[in-house]
Structure 1
Amino acid sequence: QPLEVLDLGKLVAVRGEGGGLVLRLRGQEVTLKVESQEALEMWRGFILTMAEMKVPTDLALLPGHVFQLSEALREEQDRRAASGSPATLGVPSCFFEVTRLEAERLLERSAGEGNMVLRPGGYGQGGVSVTTRQEMN
Protein backbone atom coordinates (compact mmCIF):
# COMPACT_ATOMS: atom_id res chain seq x y z
CA GLN A 1 0.00 0.00 0.00
CA PRO A 2 1.17 3.54 -0.64
CA LEU A 3 2.37 5.55 2.32
CA GLU A 4 0.84 8.98 2.78
CA VAL A 5 3.33 11.61 3.87
CA LEU A 6 1.91 14.09 6.37
CA ASP A 7 3.46 17.47 7.12
CA LEU A 8 3.65 17.65 10.93
CA GLY A 9 4.23 21.38 10.58
CA LYS A 10 0.49 21.58 9.89
CA LEU A 11 -0.41 19.63 13.06
CA VAL A 12 -3.19 21.24 15.07
CA ALA A 13 -4.03 18.47 17.57
CA VAL A 14 -3.53 14.79 18.36
CA ARG A 15 -6.07 12.80 20.36
CA GLY A 16 -7.05 9.23 21.09
CA GLU A 17 -10.52 8.29 19.94
CA GLY A 18 -12.24 4.90 19.77
CA GLY A 19 -9.11 2.74 19.57
CA GLY A 20 -7.42 5.06 17.11
CA LEU A 21 -5.20 8.09 17.07
CA VAL A 22 -6.70 11.12 15.33
CA LEU A 23 -4.29 13.67 13.84
CA ARG A 24 -5.93 16.98 13.07
CA LEU A 25 -3.91 18.95 10.55
CA ARG A 26 -4.79 22.21 8.84
CA GLY A 27 -7.30 21.14 6.19
CA GLN A 28 -7.12 17.42 6.95
CA GLU A 29 -7.95 14.84 9.61
CA VAL A 30 -6.26 11.43 9.66
CA THR A 31 -7.07 8.45 11.88
CA LEU A 32 -4.39 5.86 12.64
CA LYS A 33 -5.38 2.44 13.99
CA VAL A 34 -3.50 1.35 17.12
CA GLU A 35 -3.51 -1.98 18.92
CA SER A 36 -3.43 -0.83 22.53
CA GLN A 37 -3.77 2.19 24.77
CA GLU A 38 -0.01 2.04 25.42
CA ALA A 39 0.74 2.10 21.67
CA LEU A 40 -1.69 4.99 21.23
CA GLU A 41 0.06 7.04 23.91
CA MET A 42 3.52 6.18 22.55
CA TRP A 43 2.56 7.24 19.00
CA ARG A 44 0.89 10.40 20.32
CA GLY A 45 4.07 11.20 22.23
CA PHE A 46 6.31 10.52 19.24
CA ILE A 47 4.23 12.64 16.87
CA LEU A 48 4.03 15.54 19.32
CA THR A 49 7.77 15.27 20.07
CA MET A 50 8.69 15.50 16.37
CA ALA A 51 6.14 18.25 15.66
CA GLU A 52 7.05 20.45 18.64
CA MET A 53 10.72 19.40 18.94
CA LYS A 54 10.26 18.76 22.67
CA VAL A 55 8.96 15.83 24.71
CA PRO A 56 5.45 16.59 25.99
CA THR A 57 5.06 16.58 29.78
CA ASP A 58 1.48 15.27 29.82
CA LEU A 59 2.19 11.75 28.56
CA ALA A 60 0.99 8.68 30.47
CA LEU A 61 4.12 6.65 29.71
CA LEU A 62 6.66 4.70 31.72
CA PRO A 63 10.06 6.35 32.26
CA GLY A 64 11.69 4.05 29.69
CA HIS A 65 9.26 5.18 27.01
CA VAL A 66 9.85 8.84 27.86
CA PHE A 67 13.59 8.14 27.56
CA GLN A 68 13.00 6.62 24.08
CA LEU A 69 11.20 9.79 23.04
CA SER A 70 14.08 11.90 24.39
CA GLU A 71 16.55 9.81 22.38
CA ALA A 72 14.43 10.13 19.22
CA LEU A 73 14.31 13.89 19.75
CA ARG A 74 18.08 14.08 20.20
CA GLU A 75 18.61 12.06 17.00
CA GLU A 76 16.22 14.32 15.07
CA GLN A 77 17.98 17.43 16.39
CA ASP A 78 21.34 15.96 15.35
CA ARG A 79 19.97 15.04 11.92
CA ARG A 80 18.60 18.53 11.37
CA ALA A 81 21.84 20.14 12.54
CA ALA A 82 23.88 17.93 10.19
CA SER A 83 21.65 18.71 7.22
CA GLY A 84 21.99 22.46 7.77
CA SER A 85 18.30 23.05 7.21
CA PRO A 86 15.16 21.56 8.75
CA ALA A 87 13.60 21.47 5.29
CA THR A 88 16.35 19.19 3.93
CA LEU A 89 15.28 15.62 4.60
CA GLY A 90 17.85 12.86 4.91
CA VAL A 91 17.31 9.14 4.99
CA PRO A 92 16.33 7.91 8.47
CA SER A 93 18.40 5.20 10.13
CA CYS A 94 15.52 2.71 9.78
CA PHE A 95 15.54 2.98 5.92
CA PHE A 96 17.10 0.05 4.08
CA GLU A 97 17.38 -0.63 0.36
CA VAL A 98 15.72 -4.09 0.66
CA THR A 99 12.71 -5.98 -0.67
CA ARG A 100 9.69 -6.77 1.50
CA LEU A 101 10.91 -10.33 2.08
CA GLU A 102 14.42 -9.11 2.98
CA ALA A 103 12.90 -6.56 5.39
CA GLU A 104 10.89 -9.32 7.10
CA ARG A 105 14.01 -11.47 7.47
CA LEU A 106 16.01 -8.49 8.78
CA LEU A 107 13.38 -7.84 11.46
CA GLU A 108 13.31 -11.52 12.46
CA ARG A 109 17.12 -11.67 12.79
CA SER A 110 17.30 -8.37 14.68
CA ALA A 111 14.34 -8.84 17.04
CA GLY A 112 15.91 -6.81 19.86
CA GLU A 113 16.90 -3.91 17.60
CA GLY A 114 13.47 -2.55 16.70
CA ASN A 115 10.20 -3.42 15.04
CA MET A 116 10.06 -1.26 11.89
CA VAL A 117 11.93 -1.00 8.60
CA LEU A 118 11.34 1.66 5.97
CA ARG A 119 12.13 0.42 2.47
CA PRO A 120 11.62 1.55 -1.12
CA GLY A 121 7.94 1.51 -2.06
CA GLY A 122 6.46 -0.17 -5.07
CA TYR A 123 4.22 2.74 -6.04
CA GLY A 124 6.20 5.20 -8.11
CA GLN A 125 9.50 7.00 -7.77
CA GLY A 126 10.52 8.01 -4.25
CA GLY A 127 7.79 6.00 -2.54
CA VAL A 128 8.38 4.36 0.82
CA SER A 129 6.89 1.21 2.34
CA VAL A 130 6.84 0.24 6.00
CA THR A 131 7.48 -3.30 7.24
CA THR A 132 6.77 -4.01 10.90
CA ARG A 133 7.32 -6.94 13.26
CA GLN A 134 4.76 -7.80 15.90
CA GLU A 135 5.30 -10.29 18.69
CA MET A 136 2.28 -12.50 19.21
CA ASN A 137 1.59 -13.57 22.79
Structure 2
Amino acid sequence: MKKWMKKTIAVSMTVGTLALPSLTHAEEMMMPKFDYSGVETITKDGSELAPLRKIAESLGFQVTWNEMNRSITLMKSMMMDDKKMMDEKSNMQDKTMMDKNMDMGGAITIQIDSQTFLVGMKKEMLMVAPTIVNDMAYVPKEFIDTYLLKEMKMMK
Protein backbone atom coordinates (compact mmCIF):
# COMPACT_ATOMS: atom_id res chain seq x y z
CA MET A 1 0.00 0.00 0.00
CA LYS A 2 2.79 2.47 0.83
CA LYS A 3 4.49 1.77 -2.49
CA TRP A 4 1.26 2.56 -4.37
CA MET A 5 0.86 5.86 -2.47
CA LYS A 6 4.46 6.88 -3.22
CA LYS A 7 3.92 6.21 -6.92
CA THR A 8 0.65 8.16 -6.90
CA ILE A 9 2.29 11.13 -5.19
CA ALA A 10 5.27 11.01 -7.57
CA VAL A 11 3.01 10.88 -10.63
CA SER A 12 0.81 13.68 -9.28
CA MET A 13 3.82 15.91 -8.62
CA THR A 14 5.21 15.22 -12.08
CA VAL A 15 1.90 16.00 -13.78
CA GLY A 16 1.53 19.20 -11.74
CA THR A 17 5.07 20.28 -12.59
CA LEU A 18 4.51 19.66 -16.29
CA ALA A 19 1.12 21.39 -16.32
CA LEU A 20 2.33 24.60 -14.63
CA PRO A 21 4.34 25.92 -17.62
CA SER A 22 1.37 25.18 -19.87
CA LEU A 23 -0.91 27.26 -17.65
CA THR A 24 1.59 30.13 -17.68
CA HIS A 25 1.85 29.91 -21.45
CA ALA A 26 -1.94 29.89 -21.75
CA GLU A 27 -2.13 33.08 -19.65
CA GLU A 28 0.44 34.77 -21.89
CA MET A 29 -1.56 33.75 -24.96
CA MET A 30 -4.67 35.35 -23.47
CA MET A 31 -2.86 38.64 -22.89
CA PRO A 32 -3.99 41.24 -25.41
CA LYS A 33 -1.52 42.43 -28.02
CA PHE A 34 -1.32 45.99 -29.28
CA ASP A 35 -2.18 46.59 -32.95
CA TYR A 36 1.01 48.14 -34.31
CA SER A 37 -0.36 48.63 -37.85
CA GLY A 38 -1.02 52.34 -37.21
CA VAL A 39 2.43 53.20 -35.86
CA GLU A 40 5.85 53.39 -37.45
CA THR A 41 8.27 50.94 -35.85
CA ILE A 42 12.04 50.68 -36.14
CA THR A 43 14.49 47.81 -35.72
CA LYS A 44 17.44 47.93 -33.32
CA ASP A 45 19.68 45.00 -32.41
CA GLY A 46 17.18 42.60 -33.99
CA SER A 47 14.23 43.89 -31.91
CA GLU A 48 11.30 45.91 -33.15
CA LEU A 49 10.81 49.19 -31.30
CA ALA A 50 7.65 51.30 -31.23
CA PRO A 51 7.03 54.98 -30.36
CA LEU A 52 6.31 55.07 -26.64
CA ARG A 53 4.36 58.33 -26.19
CA LYS A 54 1.89 57.71 -29.01
CA ILE A 55 1.06 54.21 -27.80
CA ALA A 56 1.11 54.94 -24.05
CA GLU A 57 -1.22 57.92 -24.39
CA SER A 58 -3.58 55.92 -26.61
CA LEU A 59 -3.76 53.38 -23.76
CA GLY A 60 -4.62 56.06 -21.19
CA PHE A 61 -1.20 56.67 -19.64
CA GLN A 62 0.16 60.08 -18.78
CA VAL A 63 3.66 60.47 -20.19
CA THR A 64 6.21 62.77 -18.55
CA TRP A 65 9.67 63.46 -19.99
CA ASN A 66 12.53 64.38 -17.60
CA GLU A 67 15.21 66.11 -19.66
CA MET A 68 17.75 66.19 -16.83
CA ASN A 69 18.12 62.41 -16.48
CA ARG A 70 16.61 61.47 -19.87
CA SER A 71 13.85 59.40 -18.30
CA ILE A 72 10.19 58.88 -19.06
CA THR A 73 7.55 58.28 -16.39
CA LEU A 74 4.27 56.63 -17.28
CA MET A 75 1.34 56.98 -14.90
CA LYS A 76 -1.91 55.06 -15.11
CA SER A 77 -4.85 57.41 -15.37
CA MET A 78 -7.25 56.99 -12.46
CA MET A 79 -10.65 55.53 -13.34
CA MET A 80 -13.91 57.31 -12.46
CA ASP A 81 -17.53 56.11 -12.66
CA ASP A 82 -18.07 53.48 -15.35
CA LYS A 83 -14.64 53.35 -16.98
CA LYS A 84 -14.46 57.10 -17.68
CA MET A 85 -10.93 58.45 -17.54
CA MET A 86 -10.10 61.24 -15.15
CA ASP A 87 -9.19 64.51 -16.88
CA GLU A 88 -5.42 64.44 -17.39
CA LYS A 89 -4.95 68.12 -16.50
CA SER A 90 -6.69 67.80 -13.13
CA ASN A 91 -4.73 64.61 -12.41
CA MET A 92 -1.43 66.35 -13.22
CA GLN A 93 -2.37 69.35 -11.05
CA ASP A 94 -3.33 67.18 -8.11
CA LYS A 95 0.15 66.44 -6.76
CA THR A 96 -1.26 64.54 -3.79
CA MET A 97 -3.02 62.10 -6.08
CA MET A 98 0.13 61.66 -8.20
CA ASP A 99 2.24 61.00 -5.10
CA LYS A 100 -0.34 58.48 -3.88
CA ASN A 101 -0.37 56.80 -7.29
CA MET A 102 3.44 56.52 -7.24
CA ASP A 103 3.39 55.09 -3.71
CA MET A 104 0.95 52.42 -4.88
CA GLY A 105 3.39 51.39 -7.60
CA GLY A 106 1.40 52.97 -10.44
CA ALA A 107 4.43 54.55 -12.12
CA ILE A 108 6.65 52.99 -14.74
CA THR A 109 9.95 54.80 -15.24
CA ILE A 110 12.30 54.05 -18.10
CA GLN A 111 15.59 55.70 -18.93
CA ILE A 112 16.87 56.23 -22.45
CA ASP A 113 19.84 53.96 -23.31
CA SER A 114 19.32 51.85 -20.15
CA GLN A 115 18.04 48.29 -20.15
CA THR A 116 16.76 48.58 -16.56
CA PHE A 117 13.49 50.29 -15.68
CA LEU A 118 11.17 50.57 -12.69
CA VAL A 119 7.63 49.34 -12.28
CA GLY A 120 6.68 51.03 -9.04
CA MET A 121 9.74 50.29 -6.93
CA LYS A 122 10.59 46.98 -8.65
CA LYS A 123 13.50 46.84 -11.11
CA GLU A 124 12.92 45.07 -14.42
CA MET A 125 15.12 44.45 -17.48
CA LEU A 126 14.68 44.96 -21.19
CA MET A 127 16.54 43.02 -23.88
CA VAL A 128 17.06 46.26 -25.84
CA ALA A 129 17.39 49.72 -24.27
CA PRO A 130 14.91 52.46 -25.20
CA THR A 131 16.31 54.95 -27.70
CA ILE A 132 15.47 58.33 -29.21
CA VAL A 133 15.05 58.73 -32.96
CA ASN A 134 13.89 62.05 -34.46
CA ASP A 135 12.96 63.41 -30.99
CA MET A 136 10.74 60.37 -30.25
CA ALA A 137 11.39 57.68 -27.64
CA TYR A 138 11.15 54.11 -28.92
CA VAL A 139 10.81 51.03 -26.72
CA PRO A 140 10.69 47.30 -27.53
CA LYS A 141 7.25 45.99 -28.46
CA GLU A 142 7.62 43.44 -25.67
CA PHE A 143 7.68 46.30 -23.14
CA ILE A 144 4.35 47.58 -24.44
CA ASP A 145 2.72 44.16 -24.62
CA THR A 146 4.07 42.97 -21.28
CA TYR A 147 3.84 46.05 -19.09
CA LEU A 148 1.48 48.65 -20.56
CA LEU A 149 -1.22 46.24 -21.71
CA LYS A 150 -0.92 44.29 -18.45
CA GLU A 151 -1.51 47.52 -16.49
CA MET A 152 -4.52 48.33 -18.67
CA LYS A 153 -5.96 44.86 -18.04
CA MET A 154 -5.49 45.33 -14.27
CA MET A 155 -7.31 48.68 -14.40
CA LYS A 156 -10.50 47.13 -15.84
TM score, norm. by length of structure 2: 0.25
RCO greater where, 1 or 2, for CA within 8 Å and sep 6 or more? 2
TM score, norm. by length of structure 1: 0.27
Choose 1 or 2 for highest CA Rg.
2
